[in-house]
Amino acid sequence: MQFPLRLVLLPSKYLLALLLLLHIAAFTCLFPLQASVWLKFVTASLLVLSAVVSIRHYANLSSPHSVCELLLLADGSLEVVDRAGTRSVASIAGESTMLAGMVVLLLKRPESRRLKSVVIFPDALTVEEHRALCAWLRWKIPIDKPKTKINL
């Protein structure tokens, strides 16, 4: 694997389907509630707004703050490029998760105390890029050591 490794993220149909499914499930949970119609309407409106914003930001990658490119560096850090073209250096937080069908990266940026999440399904990258990302994550993310030593 040669570094730096540039990964261009594509819009994900799997993430779009998952976000739609979860928002529809939350929407259907409103019907059996014994609340006023006004409260149900406001909550339903907020759910629709949440669906639009999350799909635009995470699945379609069309928001100006959506991460559209990752540049993996040999030292374990990475460079993040958003849709607006802003580049920033970040590191991977230890709480990031790599599952069989999904990678959730939590990025720590020096200019912010908040973690930025990037959800990557296999259809957002080519097969080789997805393999390279998973290998880089296994290789570079430190495994948390136990805090206390147990002597038997």
Task: State the pTM of this model.
Answer: 0.84
- R_g (Cα) of the chain, nearest Å: 19
**CA-to-CA dists, residue 142 to 40, 41, 43, 76, angstroms:** 45, 46, 41, 10
Give the burial class of 33: count Cβ atoms within 10 A of its Cβ; 0-12 exposed, 13-18 middle, 19 or more buried: exposed
Flag residues of the chain having pLDDT under 70.
Answer: 141-152
CA–CA separation, 90 and 56 (whole Å): 23
Over residues 46-62, the pLDDT tens digits come to 999 999 999 999 999 99
C-alpha to C-alpha distance for 109 and 92, rounded to whole angstroms? 9
Q: Where exactly are the structural domains of the chain?
A: 5-9+67-140, 13-59
Dihedrals phi, psi of 62, to nearest 5 degrees: -105, -5
